[in-house]
Each structure stands twice: as C-alpha cells, then as structure tokens.
Amino acid sequence: MSIQENYWQQSLCAESRPQPNLLVVFGASGDLARRKLLPALFQLFRRGLLHEHSYIIGCARSDVKQSRFFDGFLEFLPEEEPEQIEIFQRRLSYVQLDYDEQAGYERLAEHIDALQSQIGRQLNHLFYLATPATLYAQIVPRLHSSGLSQEVYSGKPWRHVVLEKPFGSDLESAENLDRMLHKSLHERQIYRIDHYLGKETVQNILMLRFANIVFEPLWNSNFIEHVQITAAESVGLEQRAGYYDGAGQLRDMFQNHMLAMLSLVAMEPPAQFEPEAMRDEQLKLMRAIRPLPINEIDKYLLRAQYTAGSKDGLSLPAYLEEENVPPDSKTETYVAAKLFIDNWRWRGVPFYLRSGKRLSRKLSEIAITFKKPPHSIFAQLDMDSLKENQLVLNVQPEEGMSLAIQAKQPGSKLCMGSLNLEFSYAKQFGAQIPDAYERLLLDCMLGDQTLFIRSDVIAEAWKLLTPVLQAWQKSDSLKQYDCPCALQYYQAGSEGPEAAVQMFAGWRPLRATKG
C-alpha cells in the first residue's frame, strides 16, 4: 500500500505546547531514567515542546556530583548534537535524598523554591516515580507532608505524580495501593503509565476505528471471526529475576499491556476524544469481559515456563537456570488466554491473547480476522482454502499495519489469491517516529490523562485475574488440589507450548509476520 508524501502534507495535526513545568525524576540514576526518560525529554526539547522555563531535577539515593549525573545518560543521547545537549544540560540539576527521610524532601523543596525565584514564577510540578513500586508508600506521603504535591482547589498550578507498573500484585494489594495514593492525591493528579499506550500503532487503533467509515460498521460479531493480540519477546529475564520471579507473565504483561490493548480494540466509541469519556468506555469494556471458569480453566487459559533450547545455533538456558531464579520456581513465563466479551457488539467472538519470554522472535501485534463471505459465486474455486481478510496492526518491532484481501492474480480467468496491502511507519517517516515515552511525558505536562489508566479500570483487571492467581498458588502448594491449571513447559527459542496451538484454533504463528 503506497502512501504518497503529498497525502501526509494534507493531514490534520494538532500538538499543544505545555506551560512551564518542573519535572522531578525519582530514581534518576536507574536504567529507566537513563535509557528512556531523559532521552525522551531531550527529544521533546529538540522539537520545541519543552518550555524555555521548564527544568528537570534528578533525585536518587546516590551521593554523586551533578557532572556524574549528566554522564550517566549522555551515552543515550545523539552524539552529533553537542550544542543542543549542552543547552539541555543547563535545564538539569540533581538532589540526593533518601526516600524514607523527610529531610531530603525539605532540601528538594528548597531547591525548587530557588529555581522558581530565579525565573520569577511558579511552575507546574511533575513528579515521576521511576522507582520500584515498593517505594511508592515512602515517597508519595512525604511529597504530601512536605507540601510538594499539594494543590490548591483549582488545581493550578498543578502537581502531577507519575507511577510505573506494577499497580499491585492482586486485587487486595491494588486496592491498598489505591487507598494509600488517595490519602495524599486526587485522582486527577495520578498518572499511571503504560508505555504500550504511547506507541503510534496502539494510538492508531482509535483513529483507524473512529475516523474511517470503512472499518467501524464491520467492527462487530457480524463480520469479525476472532481477534488475536500477541506480545512475544525473544529475550529472557535480562537481570530482572528479583522482580520477575515474584510477578510472572500474567502480572507483568496481561494485567496491563495486554488488557489495555484489548480495551482499545473492543471498547465502544466515546462521546468525544477526551480523558474521562475514553476511560469510561474502557471501564465498561473491562466489566463486560466474561470471568474465567476456574474449574475448567484449561479450556480458556494456560501457563507455561521455558526449558533449555536454542535459537540461531546458540544454546539458551532454561528459566530455572537463569541467574537468581530459585531452582523450584513455578513462575510462568508464558500465558495464553481465550476471552469473551459479553455485550451486543462482541457476542460469541473469541479474543485470543498470548504473551511470553524466550520465544522465537520479538513481536507485538493485533490481528483482526474477518469472516468469509457467506456465499461464493466462484464455484470452480476451492474457496475454503483461501485465507480470510485480516487486518494486522504491528506494534513492534516495526510499527505499521497490513490488510490481507482476496484479488485476481495474473493468469487464467479464474485465478485468485491473497494480496497484502502494507504500511510501515519507519519506511514512510524514517527515524522521525517519537518514542512512546515522548508522547506520554508530553501528555503528563499537558495534563492530558487520555492514555493513562484510571484506578477503577485497574481494579476490574485484577478482579478478572486474581481468581486465576489464587488457583495457581493453591495448585502449586497442594498437589491434591483439583485444578486443571498445572504449569506446562516449552523450549526456549520455540513458538511456545504446543498446547496453546491445540487449544486455540486458527492461532497465528509468530513466523507468519516478516521481521
């Protein structure tokens, strides 16, 4: 599918420039801040989307000089722009503090007051908690007691707090976290981030559905056979065993990324493109997902763990051989699920979701498979052997989309085959695609919560998954417990457990997509 350049010149684009902001990054010496957040802020600065009176303060336990703080992320910035980097660095400063000591927050408040006095104005404050979630209960109350996160009734200037997942480990812990947050913050101040929602293809779901009359009338059970959502990784733990072994794939990917993508694909049209209308529809969708029947869970969901395998001639270790993983761990590294949505639009349509580590390739995509025509006029052709129309939204590694249709091929009078209409963001726009964190950080500074997750949506996700987690735990600890949810296994570097292919008819193989 060729997209002409002059078409994009006629596109309708709207981007807002934020007011002056003060961005405070807790955990500034960690990988997330160095690899993602500060490079994303630099790109916003380059694009003219960081106000000239906006400043960035890094906070961490490390007692380092400001120059060493700069050095920590310089390797992730483009070397060919030294002048821009030098100007950007003038916006940055560093404050050392211990997260559980009030004195550090008082020093931070004094530093902020000095910056605001220097420019002669009060700034909006954005506090990004790029720390383990276990530290939220230390940081959030102290931000409040020091006055740093307190807003006036009007919310201007505002004080926003950004949280990274996980948002609890089950329904009870998520509700405890929510209560803790709301003792200090209003819901309008809380930005729960899911970086998948910042990806161009994921955002494009909304425009594809609601700005094109050709798709939305077909977006229902009358025309769609099934939907598949995949988030596959070829890597293993990457030194995350401390977190991952206590979480597992269901908590790490399903509760947030997978269900977030499902909600965008399946929700009803909001009245308008604004945060609360969007999140209201996501909530309705989450509440419509049919609960998973625990006593016959093997028909709808399976979990598995990778064993030793190989890929491209290289030996890959088993999960139990990874560094810092307990030798008797039952943590799942792969989950496949078959979900149904009990509403008029999606009655009877299966939604297949899978996510796993150490698979044959890295791939995140949403594949919508349409039903075949009810009748064929081409009696001479074996129409049953032809593929259905399929719309595939590629989230990563290469963002884009493709549409498979049936068309005549050159040759005999009756010669039909599948034709793929393809579009790639990278090929069309080169290296100009903004990183997901750029989009989300900009929205934080603009006060736009559209792409952020509300507390009641999180609660509904945990209501769906917590019974499964409880059944798994009981099954693993009590051998005599009757639950068809035993842990299965698959080889590292493979497509995943064979049982997943057998369970879900029409499963789309990872090798089906180029890349």
Which helix (H) or strand (E) covers residue 505, if one does?
none
My answer on whether 358 and 233 are in the same domain is yes
Q: Is residue 179 part of a domain?
A: no
> Is 252 part of any domain?
yes
How far, CA to CA in Å, does 34 sit from each of 136, 191, 241, 320?
20, 20, 20, 30
Asked if 70 and 39 count as a contact pair (C-beta separation under 8 A), the reply is no
* Residues 468 and 392 both lie in one domain: yes
CATH of the domain at 122: 3.40.50.720
| Nearest CA among 374, 335, 332, 367 for reference residue 351 | 367
- Our answer to whether residue 257 is catalytic in this structure is yes
| Domain boundary, last residue among 121, 146, 164 | 164
Q: Is residue 478 part of a domain?
A: yes
- Tokens found for residue 305: 């763990």
Residues 215, 146 within the same domain: no
CA distance to 90, 208, 451, per residue, from 420 (Å):
49, 18, 31
Name 164's Cβ contacts closer than 8 Å, sequence gap at least 6: 32, 129, 130, 131, 133, 193
Confidence at residue 3, expressed as pLDDT on a 0 to 100 scale: 42
Q: Which domain holds residue 40?
A: 18-164
Q: Strand 351-356 relative to strand 224-232: parallel, antiparallel, unpaired?
A: parallel
Instruction: Write the CATH number for 251.
Output: 3.30.360.10
148 and 206 co-located in one domain = no
Which stretches of the chain drop beneath a pLDDT of 50? 1-10, 512-515
Number of domains, the chain:
2
Name, in order, each residue with C-beta under 8 angstroms of 1's C-beta and a sequence gap of 6 or more: 402, 403, 421, 422, 423
Amino acid at 507: W
Contact 137, 180 (CB under 8 A): yes
Q: What does the chain come to in residues?
A: 515
Flag whether 171 is in a domain: no
Q: How many CA atoms lie within 13 A of 87 on its CB side?
A: 13
pTM for this one? 0.89
Please, which residues bridge with residue 316 across strands?
309
Type of residue numbered 421: L
Which amino acid type is present at position 184? S
H, E, C per residue of 287-356: HHECCCCHHHHHHCEEEEEEECEEECCEEECCHHHCCCCCCCCCCCCEEEEEECECCCCCCCCCEEEEEE
159 and 244 both lie in a single domain: no
Model pLDDT, residue 515: 37
Please tell me whether residues 26 and 110 are part of one structural domain: yes
**Cα separation values, 30 from 72, 139, 439, Å:** 9, 16, 21
Q: Distance (Å, rounded) from C-alpha 131 to C-alpha 27?
A: 5
For 161-216, how does the pLDDT look when each residue is reduced to its tens digit (9 = 90+)? Answer: 999 988 999 999 999 999 999 999 999 999 999 888 888 878 888 888 888 899 98
| Residue pLDDT, tens place only, 461-499 | 999 999 999 999 888 776 655 667 889 999 999 999 988
CA dihedral 35, 39, 41, 44 (to 10 degrees): -140
**What pLDDT is recorded for position 514?**
43
pLDDT of residue 410: 77
Which of 111, 195, 226, 257 is an active site residue?
257
The predicted pLDDT at position 160 comes to: 95
Does one domain contain both 287 and 156?
no
**Domain boundary pick from 109, 143, 164:** 164
SS3 content of the chain, % helix, strand, coil (to 5): 40, 20, 40
Contacts of 210 (CB under 8 A, 6+ apart): 216, 269
Find out whether 353 and 378 touch, Cβ atoms under 8 Å. no
